[in-house]
């Protein structure tokens, strides 16, 4: 039985070459965190 390969499969995996990533995963890791730059340290509000 051969796997079904529709348009969605190549569309999801396009540009994902495992050899260009250091972790060698088939799919790049998903980062669920975000960092924001602040103009100054936050002030303490009392």
Global model pTM greater than 0.85: no
- What the block records as the tokens of 14 is 């396009």
Instruction: Give the C-alpha distances (Å, rounded to integers) separating 45 from 20, 22, 30, 42.
Output: 47, 43, 35, 9
| Alpha helices, DSSP H, located in 1-46 | 8-13
pLDDT in tens, 6-41: 666 666 666 666 666 666 666 666 777 777 777 777
Contact between 16 and 27 (Cβ < 8 Å)? yes
Stronger pLDDT, 1 or 38, i.e. the higher one? 38
Contact between 16 and 28 (Cβ < 8 Å)? yes
């Amino acid at each position: 039985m051969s796997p079904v390969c529709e348009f969605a499969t190549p569309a999801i995996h396009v540009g994902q070459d495992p050899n260009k990533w250091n972790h060698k995963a088939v799919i790049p890791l998903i980062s669920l965190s975000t960092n924001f730059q602040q103009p100054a340290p936050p002030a303490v509000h009392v």
